[in-house]
Amino acid sequence: MKDIKESDMAEKVEKQDNYVRQTGSLMERLRRVKTTRWWRFGIVAAIYVAWTVWMKNPWLLLGLLLLGDIYLTQFIPWGAWKGWKSGWARTLMSWVDAIVYALVLVYFLFAFVGQNYQIPSSSLEKTLLTGDYLWVNKLVYGPRVPQTPLHFPLAQNTLFGCKSYIEKPQIAYHRLKGMRNVRRGDIVVFNYPNGDTVAVNCPNPDYYTLCQEYGKEAILNNPDKFGEVVWRPVDRRDAYVKRCVGLPGETFEMKDGVIYIDGKQLPQPKNMQFNYFVQTTQLISDELFEELGIAVDDRNIVAADTYHLPLTDAMKQQLEASGIVAQIMRTPDNPKESLYTYPIGTDYGWTHNNYGPLLIPKKGMSINLTVESLPLYERCIRTYEGNTLEVRNGEIVINGTPATSYTFKMDYYWMMGDNRDNSSDSRFWGFVPEDHIVGTPMIILISFDKDKGLLSGGIRWKRMFRSANPDEFPQ
């Protein structure tokens, strides 16, 4: 009985407090505010003002009025549900209140500080492995102001099979001040440049590769096979992670798999892999595959005594030292690769190991345009920088005006995977615009090996909290 009376008394006091806070003039309401609430308001307001200064948008200071009402004046009865008679309704609203608060906090954390990403493929092995979960720091390069502000913070573009965002409004690209720019050798998370248009049943290969292979009309006329064709805003496109090897204003070239920047050879990452044909005198055992660190999906047998395997230099030497290798040879270029090499649908004679030279656009840089060179920069001009572009009678027309040159509005980067022969990277889809850059991974939070059970080595404990980019190379 005593507990019941105390509970009733507490409920009456709460109702009286709500009534006092929610009646009277502005000054009366402020006089009734408890000291603890003033402290809470002061801390939150200071953080909010600092964020507004960082955003360089004084209009955001109007949000202080909302914070003031939530913490102090309560002209809007934010906590009215606490006085409801129904116990289950109060319990439900307390959960809703906590969830909404958590989602708002997560939204700002993910948008302006950082978030976790999973490595879904082997394109950066052996630096990053399939199943690694990374903490990606957005403060290093400066976080982007959300271009699609109305989105669910825990999903990239879909949630339970539906869009996780509302396309409008769209905010123009703006990046807050960061610690530094992207450097060569950085591992970078970015939104997939070719992810603007997606055939939802076929995310890989992408829509533009499908158009090259089947034709645009075939894709649009066969939704059962390819799925609905949808457009996605920049910040809602799928996240990719690669290593930056080319910076704005530089000339990129590859010769036999070796990168040259402005004519100078670039050091190769220590953990870089190439594909090899390996002829053996006996089958490679599972134990040796395990020692080499070759995933089950990569153990490709092409003949009774021949394998096709991705190997680093160290793995290659270890395999040769095993005494079972009869012959080992790098996978040669396929001439047909040129049709599926950026710019797709053209034939510059470039392959994935012999590519370029190609100038990487830089903000403010002007280039001469010809019909022959236009395919290299057409997507930058039309799609990424929002211009109309067409060729009339052999003449290039941009925004309705004949043009023989173009000045870029953004910086661009060239991204590649360390697993060179098993990486969908800039050699396939070209430049990464600065407005697609998300951040750089700092640490591996946890790592799961999909080839093993959780209780039999499925968690790679030794990778936890390790650097996500241990293989940086000189600038």
Would the pLDDT of 17 be above 90?
no
* Mode of pairing for the β-strands spanning 437-447 and 355-359: unpaired
Name the residue type at position 273. Answer: Q
Q: Which residue has the tokens 């100078």?
A: 264
Give pLDDT, residue 303: 87
Q: Got the DSSP string for 127-140?
A: TS-TTEEEEEESTT
Q: Got the DSSP string for 63-92?
A: HHHHHHIIIII-SS-TTGGGG-S-HHHHHH
Would the pLDDT of 19 be above 70?
no
Would the pLDDT of 474 be above 70?
no
pLDDT digits (tens, 9 = 90+) for 442-459: 999 999 998 888 888 889
Contacts of 138 (CB under 8 A, 6+ apart): 111, 112, 113, 114, 115, 144, 438, 439
Name the residue type at position 75. Answer: F
Give pLDDT, residue 12: 57
Secondary structure class of 336 (helix, strand, coil): helix
Alpha-carbon distance of 430 to 448, in angstroms, equals 31
Return the domain boundaries, the chain: 2-83, 366-407
Of 17, 67, 27, which is closest to residue 47 (Cα–Cα)? Answer: 67
Q: What is the pTM (predicted TM-score) of this model?
A: 0.87
pLDDT digits (tens, 9 = 90+) for 240-259: 999 999 999 999 999 999 99
Of 421, 402, 414, 405, which is closest to residue 373 (Cα–Cα)? Answer: 405
Contacts of 125 (CB under 8 A, 6+ apart): 271, 273, 310, 418, 419, 422
Name the residue type at position 395. Answer: E
Secondary structure class of 382 (helix, strand, coil): helix
Q: Got the DSSP string for 198-214?
A: EETT--SS-HHHHHHHH
Give pLDDT, residue 160: 85
Would the pLDDT of 207 be above 80?
yes
Alpha-carbon distance of 117 to 438, in angstroms, equals 11
Give pLDDT, residue 65: 92
H/E segment holding residue 187: strand 187-191
> Counting every residue, how long is the chain?
475
Alpha-carbon distance of 434 to 384, in angstroms, equals 10
Least confident of 33-42, 279-288, 337-346, 413-422: 337-346
